[in-house]
Structure 1
Amino acid sequence: MDIRVGRNYRLGKKINSGSFGEIYHGTNVLTKGPVAVKLESRKTNFPQLVFESKVYRILKGGVGIPNVHWSGKEGDYNVMVMDLLGPSLEDLFSYCGRRFSLKTVLILADHMISRVEYMHSRNLLHRDIKPDNFVMGNSKRTHLVHIIDFGLAKKYRHHKTHKHIEYGTDRNLTGTARYASINAHAGVEQSRRDDMESLGYVFLYFLRGSLPWQGLSAKTKEDKYKLIWKKKETTTVAELCEGFPDAFAKYLTYCREMSFNQQPDYGHLKRLFRDVFFEQGFKMDFAYDWTTSQTHENKSTSTRENQAVRRRESNLKRGATIGDLTPSLQVPDRVTSKEAAVREFYSRSRKSSMRRSSSRDAPVITQRSRRSLIPPRNHSTSGSHHTQLQTNRHMQLPRRVTTALNTRASSTNPRSGQQNGRHQLQPNRSTATTKRRQNAKDSNALRPIDELKKR
């Protein structure tokens, strides 16, 4: 069944679902390009998609901001069509064994601070900073971190006067409790400092593998939020950042000491992590943990396959029959559907990049090189044919060029019976003249019938 939204976007399989609605894989029927289609019931108590599409329009053009292709209403749903991106950082975190290396965290920190800085420059707060809301790019931008899900975003100052919102208390907790700031737990109106503090908790979550306030149990959500709040307040920055570079402790201390309407020094915060990056001798090659682990996995797989082939060949040499050789099955580790999707996504991206690089590296054939590829004169027709086949198979010329070369190289001199090497790149004039005369005779023969049809 062909289901379309916005007239030009066909719905595919479901990607994700939750309290916000559902996300589907889609296709632009005009460009055949992939898109993501976000659906939200219009009967929901707290609709967010219409507001979120407005936020995307405000942020349009920023680095790491997905493009919205269409938004509107279809039946009982609010719909938003946007760029189809790669896996989230939470999915990649699980894929890498629920821990990132220091190098990966430092690169991600630079990207994520820049995304939040751009949002703040457009007078907006995110208010739901978490790994699920940062995703990697698709196609040529697989190295670029994107920020998504602005359903809880809020303006913190007027876009013309830049007047900051007023300080307030007794606010409900907005966002995800695990990464929420201490002030957000206390019911204080959120500002830029709260987004930055939440980023700090995400960085430590990636480094540590978990946060001290995870796994707490309570009877109600409110009680659990209070336990998380209390654990955050009693856990010192030194305890939280123990075993890691001082930059993380300095970052978190800076964010907690900021005033309500203070503008963060984004450059200073990014320099903290960049200094550690270069002190450790890392290279900015965007070699994330999930890309390097995938490379090692491919190498180990190919090594195992080569070893299996060599074992089978050696067994055959010793006299065993093919039927006696039972290949050993490699039982893969159990992976989740998200991990399998991550594997498929990055293997597909590598294949497409390899195709692009191979097409760029294709040799350019000039007129002189074409002549050098023509086989030499040979009195034997079979030998000439063999040479042409070798040229076609190894040089892999375009089909049009190969056909022309074979035709012209195999043309023979009617007087001597040898190949005509003098005019190998010239068409056979006698053959062309004969074809023109034959076509003229055919057209003359059909002319009376055409005239009768006209009458």
Structure 2
Amino acid sequence: MGYNEKLREIKIGITSVIATKWIVTRKIGEGAFGMVFECLSVTKPSIKRALKAEMIGIDSAHESLKMEIYVMRKLMSVNAAHSVQLFGAGMEKNFNYVVMTLLGLSLSDIRKRLPGEKFSMESLIVIGIQSTDSLKELHCAGFVHRDIKPSNYTVGKEQTDWIYLIDFGICREIMYTEDLQTKLKCPRRSCQFRGTTRYCSINAHKKKELGRHDDLISMMYMLIEGHTGTLPWKHKDRVMTEKLKSEKEEEMLAAVPKPFSRVFEYLRALSYFISPDYKRIRNEFVAMAAERKMGPPYKLDWDEIVASPQNVEGTVKTLNRDQLLIPPDISTLYDIPDEFPNEESCSDSDRTINSEQEKRPAPSIYEDMTQTDVSEGRKRG
């Protein structure tokens, strides 16, 4: 049976009730191996959530929901500001599911509705600051995303000036604990391609182990596209895209603000073993805001695109917009510990990765969530 036929086995219709707790109201989207729905709480119908369902029986290479739950739990444990809340998860007859915060439009959807498909500089600066913060959160939790792109950043449903990082299904855990110390996993000698051709780093094309700097390079491609309206390799195949990323880099950087090119050149010089200087990257964007005398109220491109948000109970942290842009001498909007030393290395004996480090979360992750349901999630702030 093909994947499309299996996908039809996810029998969720409008008004379906999942685990006696969630009423499905509409389908939001559909991918190769799953679907996303809007749902309501049975006990509090005014509260809207997103329900993501993944068919049971697909091969492990395409089974992403376990990893997504695992990463979201880790991010919730450190109260990550740019991650959605997890409200429940479980197993039905032919699909697994997770219930999470319902968000608004993606940056990809928003950009396509703008003149020339370009963001204003004010919006790009806010995106740059918040996406840098979101990646620092993820990396400090011990993961790399490996698929940073505009469709994996969304604005809040309630607070539209707050940006969320989503879709953790192909994340890789790069840190492990040994003898009470957090250590960096050594890179594998060969890897499969991970990511999206348009935004992935050259390391991804070369099938190298992806590190924290690779996520940030993808972020910069996203910002550069948001500034120019395109990338030189748009609609090209993977081989041609890799070629153009090398050949057109100088031309691409000449068309963007100097802070963008400085950040890109800094990231290009990093390696898997070096922890990026998030403060340095963030301060480039903050300095751009200061030069333009940006101040509240900030006019974001999607203010007129996004419909007025409904009053959803307890979904996002309330922050004033004047908290988004802060003096360049302050590292972060909130406290994110620098958990990793600036540079890590492995001994020769560590070059072979222990197979235990490669295992994904155990299949019982759904049962565990059912037993310890967090239907009310966690409050921010």
Flag the structure with more relative contact order, 1 or 2, with Cα contacts below 8 A and sequence separation at least 6. 2
Instruction: Tell me the CA shift for residue 162 of structure 1.
Output: 2.0
Question: How far does the alpha carbon of each residue in 1:406-429 deviate from its partner, in whole angstroms, 9 at most, with x for none?
Answer: xxxxxxxxxxxxxxxxxxxxxxxx
Report whether the alignment pairs 1:347 with 2:365. Answer: no
Question: Structure 2 counterpart of 1:348, which letter?
Answer: S
Query: 1:128 aligned to 139, 147, 163, which one?
Result: 147
Structure 2 length normalisation: TM-score? 0.73
Moved more, 114-123 or 89-98: 89-98
Q: What SS does the corresponding residue of 1:30 show, helix, strand or coil?
A: coil
Q: Is the 8 A contact 1:95 1:290 kept in 2?
A: no
CA distance in structure 2 between the aligned counterparts of 1:71 and 1:121, rounded to whole angstroms = 25
Q: Is the 8 A contact 2:39 2:50 kept in 1?
A: yes
Question: Structure 2 counterpart of 1:90, which letter?
Answer: S
CA distance in structure 1 between the aligned counterparts of 2:67 and 2:247, rounded to whole angstroms = 37
Q: Which residue of 2 aligns with 1:111?
A: 130
Report whether the alignment pairs 1:276 with 2:288. Answer: yes
Q: Is the 8 A contact 1:93 1:99 kept in 2?
A: yes
Query: 2:205 aligned to 168, 185, 189, which one?
Result: 185
Q: Is the 8 A contact 1:143 1:286 kept in 2?
A: no
Report whether the alignment pairs 1:71 with 2:89. Answer: yes
Q: Which residue of 2 aligns with 1:10?
A: 23
Q: Is the 8 A contact 2:224 2:256 kept in 1?
A: no
Question: Structure 2 counterpart of 1:73, which letter?
Answer: M
| Count of paired positions | 291
Q: What SS does the corresponding residue of 1:271 show, helix, strand or coil?
A: helix
Structure holding more strand per residue:
2
Structure 1 length normalisation: TM-score? 0.62
CA distance in structure 1 between the aligned counterparts of 2:64 and 2:311, rounded to whole angstroms = 36
Question: Structure 2 counterpart of 1:131, which letter?
Answer: P
Q: Which residue of 1 aligns with 2:230?
A: 210
Instruction: Tell me the CA shift for residue 244 of structure 1.
Output: 2.7
Structure holding more helix per residue:
1
Q: What SS does the corresponding residue of 1:52 show, helix, strand or coil?
A: helix
Report whether the alignment pairs 1:83 with 2:101. Answer: yes
Moved more, 146-155 or 45-54: 45-54
Question: How far does the alpha carbon of each residue in 1:77-131 deviate from its partner, in whole angstroms, 9 at most, with x for none?
Answer: 0011111111110011112131101111011000000000000110111111000
Q: What SS does the corresponding residue of 2:183 show, helix, strand or coil?
A: coil
Q: What SS does the corresponding residue of 1:273 show, helix, strand or coil?
A: helix
Larger Rg: 1
CA distance in structure 2 between the aligned counterparts of 1:20 and 1:179, rounded to whole angstroms = 22
- Percent identity of equivalent pairs: 26
- Please give the root-mean-square deviation of Cα atoms over the aligned residues, in Å: 1.7
Instruction: Tell me the CA shift for residue 268 of structure 1.
Output: 0.5
Q: What SS does the corresponding residue of 1:163 show, helix, strand or coil?
A: strand
Report whether the alignment pairs 1:55 with 2:71. Answer: yes
Query: 2:242 aligned to 224, 229, 254, which one?
Result: 229
5+ residue gaps in structure 2?
A: 1-13, 313-381
5+ residue gaps in structure 1?
A: 217-223, 295-342, 354-455
Instruction: Tell me the CA shift for residue 166 of structure 1.
Output: 1.3
CA distance in structure 2 between the aligned counterparts of 1:2 and 1:111, rounded to whole angstroms = 36
Query: 1:27 aligned to 40, 45, 53, which one?
Result: 40
Instruction: Tell me the CA shift for residue 229 of structure 1.
Output: 0.6
Report whether the alignment pairs 1:161 with 2:175. Answer: no
CA distance in structure 1 between the aligned counterparts of 2:137 and 2:15, rounded to whole angstroms = 39
